[in-house]
Structure 1
């Protein structure tokens, strides 16, 4: 369901709603960005309602929970145009908002926005997906990690951390234009973990399709469970990435990378600790970091 479709449904049912639900619906229609950026409790407080009223509105409109309702607005706000004119329009919006609100307000809104992203990413709704992803990664013969353009940092981070205690991790970097070469030997016992977000890159979608054709398992970390990579995945960790800036936020994807690494270490045995010790000794041997004070 799109934002326009949802708001049409709200408008059609508005007059039949009880007073509290009409108050909630009116706030949603007037402040769609707030619905995307803020938690249910914050939205309810700003609408001068109890959180239960927002949940009742979501269920009245056919959603099983508030987060599913909110995801419609998150998807809407995340859908920044990928064309040059779209980027320019977004840059102009950022400047206009800064002039109207001031830097201090923008800092506060940015904090609230990222808090909302991280709260949704690390919430219970992703609990099952995290557990599934960890089990799949632990059982993989080889792990391939992909993140293109702005999502290269979380992919690199996950590969970097996992490489300190596992020797079966490949970062698909595409250096020299050899993206698919990194996956030449991917097979049925392997896992591809792909970070992706709107606007979705053709290379990410095609790489995922290739992995599936080879029989590999796909784990998606995506801004939407309906993204072209997520729909090909065995499991998907949804990482909302709304942003007030030029590009979508990468902090939720980084949080997923960090959490997955943490969980894999936590589930590792003595061999994992031995590999970490070996990596630490190598770093010390080559004086990679400055000495402690």
Structure 2
């Protein structure tokens, strides 16, 4: 022990080195490499960085499945601490640190299968309503936390700017494929109740790129995708950028392929205890964006909504309860 090494520091370093094996993770490979990096860097880490390091080694699934902000909250540190830890361990950034954990969780399997295995392992032996209710409560808590994170200042500013760009666009192209098609369709439908310059981009009949044929610099693409990113969405977004269009991205990371093309990025945490990522936080952001657009629309927006409602009433679009016949005495 050197003169400047405290006994508890030496114990912590040992604990850090043993964490991956103790958690059932491999003693060779990328995660063992991370543990070795932590051990080598330990003496130069601040108390907060050591706390973060202990947490990521003890909770590998949390690193793989949750957002940086939520992971930091679980570890009891600031999100910026996770970024500083990644750099202290000689990674280019937090996502580079996170990727080995995601690969470990997949274990050569698809992401959905790996999550399903984790879900089943969690519920193994669960008996009674209370045991099952814990899973549902965790899913609700994850969605609530993600929606709260969606209101942090950086995301709020991105929403405001996205609203401005969409309102100024000649045409708004709404792009979301596979699971994200429902989100894109909702935005397009609700937006079209007020404005007539929206185009829903989908892959029906192989016409994905056909729908973007007239896109140009005066247009905006609202592009939606989360890990694993749909290839068609990534390609169509790049195609729109090549045509000079601006991109507003709803995605799960500032380093996602959509964010790389975007002028505004709204980051959404989709982590869930379930086998499938949660789209609830993304739905909340879509609704927030729609609300901002209409709130800024003035009398023109109100008049358009009034006309639309009158037209829908005229064609009997919505069910109404039949009038009851009065009984004669």
TM-score (normalizing by structure 1): 0.81
Contact 1:243 1:249 in 2 (8 A): yes
Max Rg structure? 2
- Matched-pair contact (CA < 8 Å) for 2:61–2:105: no
- Deviation of 1:89 after TM superposition, in Å, equals 3.6
Matched residue, 2:287:
258
Instruction: Indicate the RMSD between aligned Cα atoms, in angstroms.
Output: 3.3
State the alpha-carbon separation in 1 of the partners of residues 132 and 86 from structure 2.
39
Show the 5 A alignment for 1:264-279: 264-279=293-308
2:117 is equivalent to residue 92 of structure 1: yes
Match of 2:207 in 1: 178
> For 1:194, which of 223, 230, 248 is the aligned residue?
223
Q: How far did 1:70 drift?
A: 9.6
Q: Is the 8 A contact 2:62 2:71 kept in 1?
A: no
Inter-CA distance 243–123: structure 2 relative to 1 (3 Å threshold): same
After superposition, give the CA deviation of every residue in 1:70-104 in whole Å (9 maximum; x if it has no partner): 996599669986x9755434323222212255312
Change (3 A) 1:78 1:264: farther
Q: Which position in structure 2 is the counterpart of 1:48?
A: none
SS at match of 2:199: strand
Q: Structure 1 residue 278: deviation in Å?
A: 1.1
Cα pair 1:140 1:190 within 8 Å, conserved = yes
Q: Distance in 2 between matches of 1:96 and 1:203?
A: 33
Which deviates further from its counterpart, 177-186 or 20-29? Answer: 20-29
Alignment equivalent of 2:143, drawn from 114, 117, 132: 114
Question: Residues 12, 262 of structure 1: CA spacing in aligned structure 2 closer, same or farther, 3 A cutoff?
Answer: farther
Aligned to 2:319: 290
The one of 161, 164, 169 equivalent to 1:140 is 169
Other-structure match for 1:28? 56
- Whole-angstrom CA distance in 2 between matches of 1:191 and 1:223: 20
Change in Cα spacing, 1:31 to 1:186, as seen in structure 2 (3 Å) is same
CA distance in 2, matches of 1:91, 1:227: 24
Distance 1:85 1:272, change over 3 A: closer
Aligned pair in 2 of structure 1 residues 273, 28: CA closer, same or farther (>3 Å)? same
Aligned pair in 2 of structure 1 residues 92, 58: CA closer, same or farther (>3 Å)? closer
Residue by residue over 1:44-66, the C-alpha shift from the partner in whole angstroms, topping out at 9 and shown as x without a partner, is 5xxxxxx5x55684475378xxx
Q: Is the Cα–Cα contact under 8 Å of residues 188 and 216 in structure 1 kept in the other structure?
A: yes
| Alignment pair present for 1:61 and 2:89 | no
Q: Larger RCO: Structure 1 or Structure 2 (Cα < 8 Å, ≥ 6 residues apart)?
A: 1
Equivalent pairs, count:
279
Q: More displaced, 122-131 or 258-267?
A: 122-131
User: How much does 1:284 deviate?
Assistant: 1.7
Worse overlay, 208-217 or 92-101: 92-101
TM-score normalised over the length of structure 2:
0.73
Compute the displacement of 1:185 (Å). 1.0
**In the alignment, which residue of structure 2 is the partner of 1:47?**
none
Alignment partner, residue 43 of structure 1: 74
Which whole-Å deviations, capped at 9, do the CAs of 1:84-134 have from their partners, x for residues lacking one? Answer: 755434323222212255312211211122122222223222122112211
Show structure 1 runs of 5+ residues with no match.
45-50
The 1-side partners of 2:287 and 2:103 are apart by: 22
